[in-house]
Amino acid sequence: MKVTRVVDFYDNKHRQTHEERKASSLYPVRAFNNFIKTAAIVRAFQHLTNKKVTNIRVLDLCGGQGGDFPKFARNRNVKDVYLIDISEQSV
């Protein structure tokens, strides 16, 4: 698959409202995925905090619309968050 096809797909994708996402049959899977990501992020930050690491820089690859940004921003030791995505429309 060509990269341009992937970019076109994400650039032209319909942006669903929260209510539309909740009505989807995939909502429980997405909610579980989000729970696992949150747990992994919290655990990583706990490890870094225990090691007295400060001024953390986060690189979020395939960050889409930045849905994970609040998970990073909650940690007081996070200095910068960088988000990269193939779709300019998503960022």
Q: What is the mean pLDDT of residues 41-50?
A: 95
Q: What is the mean pLDDT of residues 16-31?
A: 92
Under the banding of pLDDT at 50, 70 and 90, the label for residue 1 is low
Average pLDDT over the chain reads: 90
Query: What pTM does this model have?
Result: 0.76
Under the banding of pLDDT at 50, 70 and 90, the label for residue 4 is confident
Q: What is the DSSP letter of 68?
A: T
Instruction: Decide: 41 and 35 in contact? Cβ < 8 Å.
Output: no
Report how far residue 36's alpha carbon sits from residue 34's, in angstroms, rounded to the nearest whole number. Answer: 5
